[in-house]
């Protein structure tokens, strides 16, 4: 670095105008080699898909999010019901059916190809919890407030509005992420079709029996992935909504302005 700065200093001295020389000392102009033009400033290469996805992942605070999941998993009965239902036989079958959709398989193959072509890699942070039968802190049992309380607190560590704002800004750059997002929008029909399956309908019915607002949950998923319906017609299986269980002291999250029928 010091050598480079020294050369820049010498070049700046040699490049001074002739007016800086005294009248009796005229700088010689014969025999001087022409200086090559300075290279034009090169633009930084566009970000790769792995870099774009990593920027979004860094918006999520995984450490406090893991503590939140662990605290509710040990102490909150409604959240325990949610975990038990999505891990039931119907929940496992519904998850397998969604992952086996051909459109989703093609999308994931395209993502893998883009990651390999850019020479980068992207690893989603795994949520592996070390569950204990005892609370890590004695006050944990008094800090859970059912499913509404969980949704309220999870937004502190999974900021949906910040993530969507970052996504919208990336899409405007018309880079590889814009192609990724456009292909992701095509999976909305897959999601709508998956909601009509028998296994998914069973899972939604079980969640509603447990007092979990599936309409609100569906709205969060659609908002995050940009799958908001363009009209009021929905292909989702009709399910009678059940009011969520409100535990004293819980603060209900804001209700979506556009209702989504699940």
8-60, pLDDT tens digit by residue? Answer: 333 332 333 333 334 444 445 555 555 666 555 567 788 899 999 999 999 99
- Does any domain span residue 107? yes
Number of domains in the chain: 1
- Does any domain span residue 23? no
pLDDT digits (tens, 9 = 90+) for 135-146: 888 899 999 999
pLDDT of residue 22: 41
pLDDT of residue 119: 72
Nearest 10 degrees: CA dihedral of 13, 15, 19, 22? Answer: 40
- Does any domain span residue 166? yes
- Does any domain span residue 158? yes
Residue 107 pLDDT exceeds 70: yes
- Does any domain span residue 9? no
| Selected residue with higher pLDDT from 241 and 156 | 156
pLDDT of residue 130: 79
- Does any domain span residue 29? no
- Does any domain span residue 236? no
Residue range 154-163: average pLDDT? Answer: 93
pLDDT of residue 47: 86
pLDDT of residue 98: 96
Q: Residue 100's pLDDT band (boundaries 50, 70, 90)? A: very high
pTM (two decimals): 0.68
Task: Give me the chain's average pLDDT, please.
Answer: 77
Residue range 124-149: average pLDDT? Answer: 84
pLDDT of residue 23: 43
- Does any domain span residue 19? no
pLDDT digits (tens, 9 = 90+) for 211-234: 999 999 999 999 989 898 544 443
Domain that holds residue 170: 49-225
pLDDT of residue 61: 95
pLDDT of residue 14: 32
pLDDT digits (tens, 9 = 90+) for 1-22: 333 333 333 333 233 333 333 4
């Amino acid at each position: 670095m010091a050598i480079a700065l020294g050369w820049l200093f010498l070049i700046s001295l040699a490049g001074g105008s002739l007016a800086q020389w005294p009248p009796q000392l005229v700088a010689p102009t014969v025999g001087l080699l022409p200086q090559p033009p300075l290279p034009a400033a090169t633009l930084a290469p566009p970000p790769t898909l792995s870099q774009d996805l990593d920027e979004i992942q860094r918006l999520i605070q995984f450490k406090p999010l893991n503590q939140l999941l662990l605290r509710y998993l040990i102490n909150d009965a409604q959240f325990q019901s949610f975990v038990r239902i999505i891990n039931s036989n119907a929940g496992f079958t519904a998850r397998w059916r969604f992952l086996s959709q051909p459109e989703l398989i093609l999308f994931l193959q395209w993502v893998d190809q883009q990651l390999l072509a850019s020479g980068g890699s992207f690893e989603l942070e795994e949520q592996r919890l070390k569950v204990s039968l005892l609370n890590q802190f004695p006050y944990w049992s008094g800090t859970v407030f059912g499913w509404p309380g969980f949704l309220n607190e999870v937004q502190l560590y999974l900021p949906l509005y910040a993530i969507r704002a970052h996504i919208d800004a990336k899409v405007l750059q018309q880079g590889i992420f814009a192609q990724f997002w456009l292909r992701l929008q095509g999976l909305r029909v897959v999601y709508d079709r998956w909601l009509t399956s028998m296994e998914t309908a069973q899972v939604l019915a079980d969640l509603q029996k447990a007092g979990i607002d599936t309409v609100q949950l569906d709205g969060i998923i659609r908002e995050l992935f940009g799958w908001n319906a363009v009209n009021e017609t929905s292909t989702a299986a009709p399910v009678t909504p059940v009011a969520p269980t409100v535990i004293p002291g819980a603060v209900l999250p804001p209700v979506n302005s556009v209702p989504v029928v699940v």
